[in-house]
Structure 1
Amino acid sequence: MPSTLAERPTTSPENRASLPEDPGLRRRLLVAIALVAVLPFAFIYAFVFVTNTVLLPLLEWQGSGPYHGRVYVDPLFAVVVVAGGLALQAWKGPSIVLGSIGARRVDADEYPDLHARVTRLAKAADVEPPDVAVAHNDAPNAMAVQGPRGAAVVVTTGLLDALDERELEAVLAHEVSHLANDDATVMTVAWLLPTVTYYVATAAAYVLYGMARTMGHGGDGDGGDGAAKAILVLLVTAVVTLAVSAMFWAASVLVHRVLSRYREHAADRGAAAITGDPTALASALRKLDERMADVPDRDLRSLDGGAEALYVAPLEGRAFTDAELVSTDVFPATHPPTADRIDRLREIAGELE
């Protein structure tokens, strides 16, 4: 990005126009909310179905039966469980996310300039000023989380070190736009199901791997027909669990494919409207993209764990010295290409000239 972009003076957010209306984002939010509400029920009853049609008959064949009844989940009980789980996730989700990345809420005495910027930008976007949280991490990134108890804008110390004042203002405006657009609440809740199903599928895969190793070393022993049947039951259970979990992981990722990429473009547009300086965010995104490759693996992994879709910049796009990040496995392709975001911001800048 040319150096002149970083030298351009920032216009006061108080004098900016309000955030543009985005019917497309509203529609996607409604679809995402519907998926978040429906998929847990489908997940529960899919396991009920395979238990009754596959696992119980298999246990009876193995000699553990007969089972005269079948597994049944009362719909009202399912509603209570799912609604309670979603409410708990909405209530505790922001704190869980902050804890997972080592972020801590800070007061105005500790970070006065950061607090003042976030408060001013929130007022410009006509939203309640959120809490401010900081994660001591060299990876330059930021996110916004939101729940019934309030919202928080989170930044890393790497972000504060990497950006100049204009760029920092633009990134903070981007996160405030997520709060103003109400998509931060949906994303704070929506990361739970794909994360859970991912780990369930991973656990089932490890069971299958362990059984394969055991059988490969002659671990079935001399137990005869009973041992063989028991191994078959475990094998089928693991395969079914893996298949169902993988299916619902793929389905729940639809929430993020429906919403996550689009919401980043919407927040970029919102930041441009708040600050009147789209080139500052373009410069910041380019800088974050370039610096991510130099961040130590330990810092990237401390931001890992399923929160990928919440960040302003993706954690992907670099080669790791060992295994891939969980975030990029759980939420593949959560962000639009950085070059595309920069091009769109430049177009906005051209319209403002």
Structure 2
Amino acid sequence: MKTRFKPDRGLSRRMVATGFLLGLLYVVFVAVLIALTRSAFVAIVIAGALLFGQYWFSDRIALYAMHGKVVTPEQAPQLHGAIDRLCALADMPKPTVAIADSDFPNAFATGRSPKKAVICVTTGLLRRLEPDELEGVLAHELSHVAHRDVAVMTIASFLGVLAGLMTRIGLYGGLGRNRDQNAAVVTLIVVLASVVVYAVSFLLTRLLSRYRELAADRASAVLTGRPSSLASALTKVSGDIAQIPTRDLRQAQAFNAFFFAPALKPGASFGKLFATHPPLEQRLDQLAGIARELGRPG
């Protein structure tokens, strides 16, 4: 896709490396399944159908889950105007624009391709941010679209979906119904293999997710030329999220990997290894470094 977002070679290398490792795990996993169980074909077909649905309808699924509604330029002139300017700067197709009626301050991009992309912001974000801060967030999301991050993360998560499916089949199907000792042993091996593969794929996708957030921050700062605006938005949103009731945050945490900022209170993460986003301090340090590169105040 033609765009003025600079190619991120580091992001590309990590995507390729993660895809290769996940693919290698997938090949080994399927080989074990084929050797040990007769239900491997059915499981793969089911998982493939789930992947296809998640990939093809990702925009509709995300909007439905977040109660987002597509808005026209007449309904949201300022939001459309900002996205129009950024798309012109980036020389990329304009995505569909949506707003979710929620006080939760965040934004996300979804869709299987740049031509089918959707950028959704919440009313809470629109209410809290200044115009330059909002442009920083929107440029961050447009970078995800330009780099096809949503499609990559959807495909990368396929192995985890498959492993989880096989674990459930083994736990609630084979072990419960098969009284034959050999069949029970085989099922147990499949379950253990599923758990190991899921754990490895989980860590790999989290690693890729954290890097792509840093890459999107950098792309946004370079495109707008105002790293301080994005830093201000990150600081403001992270601070406001800390004031939101835990019950409301839990409802949003399923979309952590797609959000501009994680739906977590400070200190609520299970650690850097399992986080979908890099620490706020790391993101702010990177933006300060970019500001120095551009000769702008941090």
Give me the TM-score of the superposition, normalised by structure 1: 0.69
Query: Are residue 144 (structure 1) and residue 109 (structure 2) matched?
Result: yes
- Per the alignment, residue 230 of structure 2 pairs with 281
RMSD of equivalent CA atoms: 3.7
Indicate whether 1:27 and 2:13 are aligned: yes
Aligned partners of 1:143 and 1:153 also within 8 Å = yes
1:139-198 Cα deviation digits (max 9, x unpaired): 211111131461011212221122111111100111011112222321244345435645
- Report what 2:196 is aligned to: 247
Secondary structure, counterpart of 2:210 in structure 1: helix
Instruction: Name the residue aligned to 1:314.
Output: 262
Q: Is contact 1:143-1:310 (8 Å) kept?
A: yes
The answer to whether the aligner puts 1:115 opposite 2:56 as a matched pair is no
Stretches of structure 2 that go unaligned for 5 or more consecutive residues are: none
Counterparts in 2 of 1:191 and 1:299: CA distance versus 1, 3 Å: farther
Q: Which residue of 1 aligns with 2:33?
A: 47
Answer yes or no: is 1:304 the counterpart of 2:246.
Answer: no
The residue number in structure 2 matching 1:5 is none
Write the distance in 2 (CA, Å) between the matches of 1:104 and 1:254: 33
CA distance in 1, matches of 2:67, 2:24: 31
Matched to 2:75, the amino acid is: E
Q: Percent identity?
A: 36
One-letter amino acid matched to 2:152: V
Describe the superposition over 1:241-278 as per-residue Cα deviations: whole angstroms up to 9, x where unpaired.
Answer: 64233222213224424421111111111111111100
Provide Cα deviations, 1:67-112, integer angstroms capped at 9, x if missing partner.
Answer: xxxx3867xx999877766444321122222223332322222222
User: Which structure would you say has the larger RCO, counting Cα contacts within 8 Å and 6 or more residues apart?
Assistant: 1
Structure of larger gyration radius = 1
Distance 1:350 1:32, change over 3 A: same
- Gap runs ≥5 in structure 1: 1-16, 52-70, 212-226
For the residue of structure 1 that corresponds to 2:160, the secondary structure is: helix
Q: Which residue of 2 aligns with 1:155?
A: 121
Shift of 1:125: 1.2
The alignment covers a number of residue pairs equal to 289
Aligned to 1:183: 149
8 Å contact kept, 1:102–1:302: no
Which moved further from structure 2: 103-112 or 190-199?
190-199
* Residue 339 (structure 1) aligned with residue 287 (structure 2): no
Letter in structure 2 aligned against 1:314: P
What are the within-5 Å matches in structure 2 for residues 180-219 of structure 1?
A: 180-195=146-161, 197-198=163-164, 201=167
